Amino acid sequence: WGGLGHVTTGYIASHFVSNSTEAYLKQLLGSREPDYMAKVASWADSIRYTKWGRFTSTFHFIDAHDNPPESCNVDFERDCKGTGCVITALANYTEQSLDPSLPPWRRAQAAKFVIHFVGDLHQPLHNEDASKGGNGIHVKWNGRDFNLHHVWDSSIAEKWLGRGKPYPLAEKWSRDLIDEINDGIYTEEKDTWLVDLDFSDPIETALAWSRECNKLVCKYVFPEGPEAIVGQELSGEYYENAAPILQKQVARAGYRMAAWLDLIVDEYK
Ligand code: DCM
Ligand code: DCM
Ligand code: DCM
Ligand code: ZN
Ligand code: ZN
């Protein structure tokens, strides 16, 4: 996701975490503010192009070598790069966030990676190989040239939310999605969002979330295949179909992030 998506997942998660998780993370992250999670949610993107952070650049996605729209699937052995992918990254940083032999600054860093990678794991094109997750696919957005990855990372959410400052927009979006979870369109299904969560097996948990997300590639990202979308204007009917799916993915990411962080903090204590 772009900044809006990540910051929104951070706000949603901070609403659903337990009081003890909130207290622990505020201490670890050195913040007393309500945006203690939102403001670290994009940190992993700010370091991935730095010399120090280069080793994390493949941690944000998994390149599913499937065949949309006929067949969508994720195969860990086939698709996770030797340099790591979002599945192994989430598992590794979960482990580091729990490691009492690491100093607090390392556990804080690990928590920031966990917060970010749960978010990216819910972006459909971060679970797809086609043209590097859509980065090499040129499309139109309001008549201008964009790549498809950017449309899913940022343009769709920006159109939904309208103009404004990013943090207030994300905070407002998070309140809407929290309401839909607590008493709205997601209330009935929200328990099913946690059925695949198995804290004793982070790899299988991340793979289950990845496979669920990757299915959306066949149905909503490339409904007629990766070739057919090239040059298409996406800000109209395509946007109307994609926006509800994207919102659900952001809601799921925030809700699952809270559950995952609660388990980390419960086990660490
Ligand atoms: N980004 C940034 N600085 C960079 C690289 C990316 O702020 N040097 C932001 C803008 C992108 C987002 O990160 O939209 C990409 O997130 P991801 O890589 O998780 O999709
Ligand atoms: N990305 C992806 N799949 C790839 C390559 C990149 O999902 N195979 C994502 C990570 C960033 C964005 O696309 O959000 C741009 O990546 P980069 O700056 O590495 O091209
Ligand atoms: N971006 C940036 N610096 C980079 C890479 C990307 O500012 N080194 C910005 C430009 C794009 C946006 O992020 O508009 C989307 O990239 P994201 O999805 O890449 O990584
Ligand atoms: Zn992205
Ligand atoms: Zn990322």
Which of 15, 107, 116, 256 is the catalytic position?
Answer: 116
Angle at 129 between CA 73 and CA 58, to 5 degrees: 110
> What are the pLDDT digits (tens) for 123-182?
999 999 999 999 999 999 999 999 999 999 999 999 999 999 999 999 999 999 999 999
Residue 15 among the catalytic residues: no
CA of 190 to the centre of ligand 3 (A): 32
Angle at 61 between CA 11 and CA 44, to 5 degrees: 50
Which of 122, 153, 260, 262 is the catalytic position?
Answer: 153
Residue 122 among the catalytic residues: no
Ligand 2 atom 8: residue of nearest CA: 132
CA of 148 to the centre of ligand 1 (A): 15
Ligand 1 atom at minimum distance from 49 CA: 8
Ligand 1 atom 14: residue of nearest CA: 2
Q: What mean pLDDT comes out for the span 8-36?
A: 98
| pTM attached to this predicted model | 0.88
Residue 48 among the catalytic residues: yes
CA atoms within 13 A on the CB side of 102: 17
Which residues are CB-contacts of 15 (< 8 A; sequence separation ≥ 6)? 174, 178, 254, 258
Q: Read off the amino acid at residue 105.
A: W
pLDDT value of residue 269: 78
CA 196 to chain centre: 16
